[in-house]
Structure 1
């Protein structure tokens, strides 16, 4: 039985795109408290099922697929630019494909303006009308109003006319930043990208016997299986260690590990991998909000996904990517690192965040090259001996102090010319293949 929260989310998902929703309406229609309805609407907003717009309300929007993540809706534009909707509210849920800045003669502007575009323009009254007739939404910069005729036309065509107090350059920069942030989000690998769905997962029931485990083990060559009840709710996990010395007639519920560590579809692959190493587990069941089994991932799946992600061309560059791009191998077990303007603090020296990222990446690269091992950082002690200036070319010398089966200690020395500017001791956990 789905929880009230899940029922509300399913109801919201079933609504037509563009439909207006409210806490009172959901509470009344689904016979739930207003508090439960409010929490579900907030969750739906996080899942990008709805968008809340000031002076308009909460409306159902189209959830973007990952490949279309760089496409924004008019509703999102309103929130990005702190805008006010002057007309065409019924079209706020629509997606737009292109932005056109109207900084040219009217006839030339219309050559570039098409349906599903957003025309960014100032107080050029004719341009507002022409843009709407071309099938584009209009964003009026500088806080200007539009004529009543344009507002009526926008309502008739269901194309939003939005006004913002920002200037055109600031608006373009804000929209560009929003798209860029979404591209970075797209690059983050989530469990849902690599999970083996429950339909393809072999699971055991609590009432099954150890003999049934051995049958599945021989047929699939898997060492562990999730254990579910008759409704499909996760109850435990069973591995080879649990069944050693057990009678074939023994029930699974007697020998399984109860309340196993589980993940969710929205958990990042890196986070899941770290949890699996930390807890020393090879299998991670994936569950929904109510604890029902939705899939399974293994440590091999995580390793394979992370290695593939490292080879993918990045579409959005994070601060991590900027720092890592400046680390170069020299061939003598050393690395060079160039300090660029993005990595500096207010005083023009290397920031602490960039410094620690550089140290962690240098240690991880050294382990990959010398020991062919993947790792995750557990602990770091850093000594900032001297400030590092902009455009300095640093020499980074990592050396492995201690290597065990599960972890490694790495000493890193950073020099600028002949001067030592920093030292660090890092402890990393090793990822078993």
Structure 2
């Protein structure tokens, strides 16, 4: 049987992102003491489930996932910090597991060192030796060199011994930023995750005829095919509509759609779905930089993927930093019938432009988050903003509260358009029309 503490944590985990949390309300709703509710909230804050925001209160946030160092090698670090290899050159292509700042005593360092980690130290021979003998590479900051003994240990273990002119803080900041960049890219689904490779599909040559298309359509029960040259370069797409009215002897080169819309393996899946939907097409050829066909992306492969496209905001991005300040405003009885709540935000100094007022770029991000998050939480729809028309804007100074009011003015299966009022101190400070394209049901 779950304890009261576990019940509260489970309750918090199931709250919508942005919902405000208070000790008194939690105690009342779950029928626990305020002391129990307080301790559970503090535990949830430590684990990243909630955050206390100045002048806002405690808010449910997207829980940070652990940072991964997948595909970050010592060679990547070497390029990143403009370093030089003093020893252990044979190990620069190995992948590191974590990095450790060796600011403590040599003995205290040992529990934190694991094989294939990177220990960042200054000109401390004993610390460098301990790191290498425990299976870790060494990064020496401040432009210092290493002794012959240390270089010999690095060569023997084939663990990189690197030197850089940067200080420890700068090195750690550079590595942390690179980790963030890699995680953002890794977290975004691309065409490469779901497309069918050229080995899995049927294609036609531009020298073939309408009769070849008809034969292939009958054997595969498909109606859309990519058309390539004898060397595999994409030249067009042919469909049943394109061949209508043409004789069987007509060359495909004469009837195909030339210069079709294409994507690459690195195109984000959201962008590819947007192209499919906005152009009312069912197939996108996937090409390389030389326009050689490497596969196709169609609606069936998109719908058949095994993980959601937009499950949450991406951690470590600007969007995520802004989103942490956004919270829902509890509706009174008079407004309880509305499909979406109002959203609140406290304008922080990080949101300001050079004159100390709310940046238009940040405002656009807030409008994007309020609309797409509302569709995701309250209608279970993943969406992306298609258009923002900001037709009124007044300066908003830092440390002011904003209230973002959403009103749906047009809605269909594919798009939802919001008329948005942004209020501060009971005054209208911005007005916008935002159209969201619905990508999928969650």
Question: What TM-score, normalized by structure 2, do the two folds share?
Answer: 0.70
Which of 341, 359, 363 aligns to 2:367? It is 359
CA shift, 1:387, in A, is 0.6
Shift in CA distance, 371/148, structure 1 to aligned 2, threshold 3 Å:
closer
Gaps in structure 1 of 5+ consecutive residues = 1-66
Measured against aligned partners, the alpha-carbon deviations of 1:237-286 in whole angstroms (never above 9, x if no partner) come to: 01232123334454433321123222211222233333444544321111
Shift in CA distance, 168/373, structure 1 to aligned 2, threshold 3 Å:
closer
Measured against aligned partners, the alpha-carbon deviations of 1:279-304 in whole angstroms (never above 9, x if no partner) come to: 44321111123332211012454577
Superposition CA RMSD, Å: 3.6
Would the aligned equivalents of 2:238 and 2:257 in 1 still touch at CA under 8 Å? yes
**Which residue does the alignment assign to 1:381?**
390
Structure 1 position 411 matched with structure 2 position 419:
yes
Shift in CA distance, 109/425, structure 1 to aligned 2, threshold 3 Å:
closer
Shift in CA distance, 216/342, structure 1 to aligned 2, threshold 3 Å:
farther
Which of 344, 368, 384 aligns to 1:337? It is 344
Alignment of 1:103-182 (within 5 A): 103-182=103-182
Would the aligned equivalents of 1:344 and 1:390 in 2 still touch at CA under 8 Å? no
Structure-1 separation of matches of 2:301 and 2:399: 41
Would the aligned equivalents of 1:339 and 1:391 in 2 still touch at CA under 8 Å? yes
Q: Give 3-state SS (helix, strand or coil) of 1:261's partner.
A: coil
**Which residue does the alignment assign to 2:317?**
318
Would the aligned equivalents of 1:123 and 1:145 in 2 still touch at CA under 8 Å? yes
Pairs aligned (count): 365
**Which residue does the alignment assign to 1:425?**
433
Shift in CA distance, 418/222, structure 1 to aligned 2, threshold 3 Å:
farther
Which of 392, 407, 415 aligns to 1:398? It is 407
Structure-2 separation of matches of 1:382 and 1:119: 53
Structure-2 separation of matches of 1:209 and 1:136: 63
Shift in CA distance, 253/164, structure 1 to aligned 2, threshold 3 Å:
closer
Structure-2 separation of matches of 1:324 and 1:310: 15
CA shift, 1:202, in A, is 2.4
Measured against aligned partners, the alpha-carbon deviations of 1:219-247 in whole angstroms (never above 9, x if no partner) come to: 54534111223333322101232123334
Would the aligned equivalents of 1:269 and 1:306 in 2 still touch at CA under 8 Å? no
Would the aligned equivalents of 2:287 and 2:294 in 1 still touch at CA under 8 Å? yes
Q: Give 3-state SS (helix, strand or coil) of 1:77's partner.
A: helix
Shift in CA distance, 264/247, structure 1 to aligned 2, threshold 3 Å:
same
Q: Give 3-state SS (helix, strand or coil) of 2:309's partner.
A: helix
CA shift, 1:195, in A, is 0.9
Shift in CA distance, 196/378, structure 1 to aligned 2, threshold 3 Å:
same
CA shift, 1:393, in A, is 4.3
Deviates more, 1:356-365 or 1:412-421: 356-365
Shift in CA distance, 257/163, structure 1 to aligned 2, threshold 3 Å:
same
Tell which has more relative contact order, 1 or 2 (C-alpha 8 A, sep 6+): 2
Gaps in structure 2 of 5+ consecutive residues = 1-66
Question: What TM-score, normalized by structure 1, do the two folds share?
Answer: 0.71
Q: Give 3-state SS (helix, strand or coil) of 2:430's partner.
A: strand
Structure-2 separation of matches of 1:278 and 1:337: 32
CA shift, 1:408, in A, is 6.6
Structure-1 separation of matches of 2:322 and 2:114: 40
Would the aligned equivalents of 1:348 and 1:390 in 2 still touch at CA under 8 Å? no
**Which residue does the alignment assign to 1:242?**
242
